[in-house]
Amino acid sequence: MYTQAMDLMGKEAGAPQAVASPEEQALQQRFDARIDAGEFIEAKDWLPENYRKTLVRQISQHAHSEIVGMLPEGNWVTRAPTLKRKAILLAKIQDEAGHGLYLYSAAETLGTSRDQMLAALHSGRAKYSSIFNYPTLTWADVGVIGWLVDGAAIMNQVPLCRCSYGPYARAMVRICREESFHQRQGFDALLTMVQKGTDAQRAMVQDAVNRWWWPSLMMFGPPDDQSPNSAQSMRWGIKRISNDELRQKFIDACVQQARVLGVGLPDPDLKWNEERQAHDHGAIDWDEFWRVVGGDGPCNRERLAARVQAWDDGAWVREAALAHAEKQARRERAAA
């Protein structure tokens, strides 16, 4: 049993201390009890302000990641090696757009608007996953994104299907099903290249794995002891498994899959630890992670510029849709 009285007093957010009324205290206690009982919190329920803010932050960043995540793969649509691969890639990218829409909708139930969330992305205030700031240099990168990036996304997102906020949890169920197809298609594309390809194509796969391995491990976020949000998010049942635990599960799964593919993972310190029943691994370059998160990765500027350009190019569509809706509303008023 834990208490969120601190949240109610505003201490955790660094806000001036407010004295909670008896009604607010009762609401807080009821909320705490429901979290303890593992119940879903729904959009119309009372919830503490910091819980709402944390969810808006995480869900909107997740939505932005899906939308920005379309860009690295989009780079290869016109150069996919066969019609089949092109159709699969197009379907996958459309899925990512759909994931973004489910997630923006889930965040909107918390009282924020799509315009506010997009303004935060376009101004650089909102984060999106570090992984999408790396370039896709060859076709093998598209396969590796499916295998490693979608693989990491699934590992991180399956526990979110049990997140305490109902609209987010339900969106995640559908997203995870689709991510699973994405991971399989990436693995299949790589398997084809290593089994049926030339030596040059096998080398291309290995090169892509070498470049994406470490950034994929960074997707899980900073180590637990440097993760400012984890403790509170775990207590609220937003996060169910810690950053480090998920990263470890991902590494253990990938070692097996890399064996099947016949590729090496670029970590000389990666080895099975009998005592821990898990793989030990080399040090992750957290300076690189924070540089990329801070806006100074290989493609940060390019990615943000592409999103802002798409928003500006779409202005006429938004204006036309609004004009149509207003005209329709005028007609309905006149007919009433």
CB of 113 to ligand FAQ, least distance (A): 19
In the complex with ligand FAQ, which residue's Cβ is closer, 29 or 232? Answer: 232
User: With binding defined as CB under 6 A, does residue 141 bind ligand FAQ?
Assistant: no
| Amino acid of residue 289 | F
Rounded to 5 degrees, φ, ψ at 109 are -65, -10
Interaction residues for ligand FAQ, span 39-68 (CB under 6 A): 57-58, 61-62, 65-66
User: With binding defined as CB under 6 A, does residue 151 bind ligand FAQ?
Assistant: no
Of 276, 262, 289, nearest in space to 202 by CA: 262
Query: In this chain, which stretch among 12-20, 37-45, 224-232, 312-320 interacts with ligand FAQ, using CB under 6 A?
Result: 224-232
User: With binding defined as CB under 6 A, does residue 75 bind ligand FAQ?
Assistant: no
Which residues does 293 contact at the CB level (< 8 Å), separation at least 6? 127, 130
User: With binding defined as CB under 6 A, does residue 121 bind ligand FAQ?
Assistant: no
CB of 176 to ligand FAQ, least distance (A): 10
User: With binding defined as CB under 6 A, does residue 38 bind ligand FAQ?
Assistant: no
User: With binding defined as CB under 6 A, does residue 163 bind ligand FAQ?
Assistant: no
**Gap between the Cα atoms of 243 and 86, Å rounded:** 34
CA torsion angle 40 44 46 48 (round to 10)? 80
User: With binding defined as CB under 6 A, does residue 136 bind ligand FAQ?
Assistant: no
**Gap between the Cα atoms of 145 and 152, Å rounded:** 10
Spell out the alpha helix ranges (H) of the chain: 5-8, 22-36, 49-68, 70-74, 83-108, 114-122, 139-144, 151-157, 166-196, 199-218, 230-235, 243-261, 286-293, 300-313, 315-335
Residue with tokens 């339900």: 170
Query: In this chain, which stretch among 38-46, 106-114, 143-151, 309-317 interacts with ligand FAQ, using CB under 6 A?
Result: 143-151
Among 233, 251, 265, 304, binds ligand FAQ (CB under 6 A): 233
**Gap between the Cα atoms of 302 and 299, Å rounded:** 5
In the complex with ligand FAQ, which residue's Cβ is closer, 26 or 310? Answer: 310
CB of 71 to ligand FAQ, least distance (A): 9
Name the residues that contact ligand FAQ, by CB under 6 A.
Answer: 57-58, 61-62, 65-66, 69, 96, 127, 129-130, 145, 149-150, 153, 156-157, 218-222, 227-230, 233, 239, 243, 293
